[in-house]
Amino acid sequence: MAAELTYQDVAEHNTKKDLYVVIHDVIYDCSKFVDEHPGGEEVLLDVAGQDATEAFEDVGHSDEARETLEAMKVGTLKRKAGDPKPKAAVPGAVSPAANTEGAGIGVGLYAVVLIGGLLAFGAYQYLQQQQAAQSS
């Protein structure tokens, strides 16, 4: 049977050689994976001994990453009064898509300004040539 640990127990495992994280109330020992983590060891050390659910889900880990995580499972979290609330309510929930509408409008605006500037320059050149032809 898997161990049942409290937040206080998990918090004691917060070093590179002894690193536990909580994801969706499941405790994982990531100590042997720190050097292999594609995002770098700092990412894991930042959440060592803590609830890493939000950080884990925000990145959008692959199915392979989730399988690797399963192999590191050491137990479940035993919640006590006063413990921090879970950071994500639904395990496996997809994080909301990033809002990219503002970026699209900005690029479109630059395109309109650039094209408008080119048209104005072309019209100016045309009028200059017409004026020079009339003067001659």
Residue type at 99? Answer: N
Q: Report the C-alpha gap between 48 and 12 in whole angstroms.
A: 9
Q: How many CB atoms lie within 10 A of CB 55?
A: 17
Mean of all residue pLDDT scores within the chain? 84
Predicted TM-score (pTM) of the model is 0.60
Check pLDDT > 70 for residue 74. Answer: yes
CA 74/CA 71 separation, integer angstroms: 9
CA 41 to the chain's CA centroid: 16
Q: Maximum distance among all alpha carbons in the chain?
A: 99
Record the tokens describing residue 33, joined without a space. 């994976």
